[in-house]
Amino acid sequence: MADMYSEKVMDHFMNPRNVGEIKDASGVGEKGNPTCGDIMKMYIKVGKKNGKEIIEDIKFQTFGCGAAVATSSMITEMVKGKTLKEAEKISNAQVAEALGGLPPIKMHCSNLAANALQDAIENYRSKISNA
């Protein structure tokens, strides 16, 4: 089974980065896939740098398969320190590519990671506009 996955996927599964929750998160996003049972929760901490909104910290909690954990871990590494605009442009295909590819049957996992991040950004923006 493990030979279906790239070394990078296995590394992010075995040693996931940025696991946990941010208690005072700027935004929180959650996505789930009822078919496979994977659930991802993404927390972002947004700060300002040179007048731009930057993801200063990001953490995730994922209940799911190895690919779900790996894509969650990878996307947190990809967006930490990036502006919200840069983070919003990251697609599930880019997440999968950064991991060295995913088996076609596991591509939906990268969708969940990208979508949970988008949810967290939208959650942050709705808090700001309602403040």
Residue 109 bears catalytic tag: yes
Catalytic residue among 109, 112, 114, 117: 109
d(CA 9, CA 124): 29
Query: Which whole-number Å values give the CA distances from 91 to 21, 62, 99, 110, 127, in the listed order?
Result: 23, 19, 13, 8, 24
Residue 65 bears catalytic tag: no
Strands (E), 1-131: 27-33, 38-49, 52-63
CB 39 within 8 A of CB 32: yes
Catalytic residue among 10, 19, 28, 36: 36
Pick the closest to residue 78 from 65, 67, 68, 91 (CA basis).
91
d(CA 44, CA 109): 19
Task: Report, as residue numbers or ranges, the catalytic residues.
Answer: 36, 109
